[in-house]
Amino acid sequence: MRKVRKIIKIDEELCTGCGECIKGCAEGALAIVGGKAKLVSEVYCDGLGACIGTCPAGALTVVEAEAQEFDEEKVKEHLSGREASVKPHFHCPSARQMELQVRDTSCEKEGDVVSRLSHWPVKLQILNPLSEFLKGCNLLLLADCAALAYPNLHRDYVEGRVVALLCPKFSDIEEQVDKLAEIIEVAKISTLTVLHMEVPCCHGLHYAALSAVEKSAHKVSIERVIIGREGEVKRKEVCEPPAV
């Protein structure tokens, strides 16, 4: 079935055939054919654009075009059984919503580190858009690997923000874009910060945020923070919402 959706477009004039985009595509949708990057099949491309950040020539873009629908089952077959996504456990008792007490951070002068987390749960998949702690909040869309890599995460980014944790590689991204768009619109969040690793698959988190803001009737700017493998801040940028 064909429909208008987001899909990767390759500018063959710009493409050098370096193959870096293939490393950034977790679904195996790209291949080098005749010295140029090609889309193997439309059903393998989720339209997220994780491969874009890996292309040194800027030959890849995400466009709205008529294409076959993304098919996760065919992706799994294409990858010869490699697990493509991890589904959340929606009925886990630990997913019960709660707001946490604000901690006293004065002890950090003596070396102890205090959590700044203000709520539970933290997984985007199981956050309820109607939760009180989400209303008008400053939302942090956080790649789970970055939570381990960045040592000052709580002090610099968790404090004063509500956390939505996600791995763009092991998630149904179309579902997560819809969920994030719902949170943005229903909770009317104030700010959106996207914090992810420099690795190719992690760039998908930024494109998920852009897609969610585009879908939502409530527009918000996006602050993007990219973390290096050794825990340093590599780059910061701000993306303004599209004009209404």
CATH number at residue 153: 3.40.50
CA-to-CA distance for 169 and 24, rounded, in angstroms? 10
The answer to whether residue 161 is domain-embedded is: yes
The predicted-structure confidence for 86-109, as pLDDT tens digits, reads as follows 333 334 444 455 666 666 666 666
The answer to whether residue 205 is domain-embedded is: yes
Mean per-residue pLDDT for 231-244? Answer: 83
Give 10's Cβ-side CA count (13 Å radius): 23
pLDDT the model gives residue 65: 94
Residue of 51 and 105 predicted with greater confidence: 51
Mean per-residue pLDDT for 135-158? Answer: 94
Same domain for 143 and 73, yes or no, is no
Same domain for 188 and 224, yes or no, is yes
pLDDT the model gives residue 89: 37
Same domain for 229 and 133, yes or no, is yes
The predicted-structure confidence for 1-25, as pLDDT tens digits, reads as follows 789 999 999 999 999 888 888 877 8
Length of the chain: 244
Same domain for 41 and 99, yes or no, is no
The range of the structural domain enclosing residue 12 comes to 2-78
- The arrangement of strands across the sheet holding 162-166 comes to 162-166, 138-143, 191-197, 222-227, 233-239
Can you list the alpha helix ranges (DSSP code H) found in the chain? 20-24, 72-78, 144-149, 153, 173-187, 204-215
Same domain for 99 and 179, yes or no, is yes
Which single residue is written with the structure tokens 């456990």? 89
